[in-house]
């Protein structure tokens, strides 16, 4: 088993060359991983993969995260955000069950954002405008600013400098089963 475990409180990973993962302007990219979440954790939002800086409604970058234990009146969900200052965009999908592996793929093709869960398209939306270079690290299992820790395990993390299509994502899920 090569999965990385995260405690939901303090454990995370940082890319050694975050600038290679900025994907500025309208560059296409895909974020992909298998996640097995565990109940609890110190964070309401649990980041899987992120390269974003700023605060809500004034962010730049992208993030793939889970909201596994929502507040009353909300629903549990997985989320892919592609954010520009004054223009946060989120596409939502299902979140995997506790202790069960789920596959998440976030795709930006230069014009639209797509979120796939277990090889099936969950949601899509137009995502216009340019991302600018960031100074924050590319992080795994937490937000670049040091919060929003993921509790569980991540495996087969892949970041592509291109948009994978639905057939490729479905194939990745099928090959892993």
**pLDDT tens digit at each of 177 positions of the chain:** 689 999 999 999 999 999 999 999 999 999 999 999 999 988 999 999 999 999 888 999 999 999 999 989 999 999 999 999 889 999 999 999 999 999 999 999 999 999 999 999 999 999 989 999 999 999 999 999 899 999 999 999 999 999 999 999 999 999 987
CA distances in angstroms from 52 to 45, 152, 170, listed in the order given? 14, 22, 27
Cα separation of 74 and 121, whole Å? 21
This prediction's pTM: 0.96
101-153 pLDDT, tens digit per residue, is 999 999 999 999 999 999 999 999 999 899 999 999 999 999 998 999 999 99
């Amino acid at each position: 088993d090569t999965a990385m475990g995260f405690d939901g409180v303090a454990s995370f990973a940082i890319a050694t060359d975050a600038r290679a993962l900025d994907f500025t302007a309208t560059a296409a990219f895909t974020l992909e991983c298998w996640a097995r979440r565990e109940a609890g954790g110190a964070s309401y939002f649990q980041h899987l993969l992120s390269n974003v800086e700023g605060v809500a409604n004034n962010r730049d970058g992208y993030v793939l995260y889970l909201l596994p234990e929502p507040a009353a009146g909300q629903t549990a969900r997985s989320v892919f955000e592609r954010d520009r200052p004054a223009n946060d965009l989120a596409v939502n999908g299902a979140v995997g069950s506790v202790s069960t592996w789920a596959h998440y793929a976030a795709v930006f093709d230069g014009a639209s954002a797509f979120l796939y869960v277990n090889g099936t398209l969950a949601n899509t939306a137009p995502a216009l405008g340019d991302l600018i270079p960031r100074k924050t690290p590319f992080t795994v299992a937490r937000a670049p600013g040091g919060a929003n820790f993921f509790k569980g395990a991540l495996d087969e993390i892949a970041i592509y400098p291109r948009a994978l299509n639905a057939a490729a994502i479905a194939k990745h899920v099928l090959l892993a089963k």
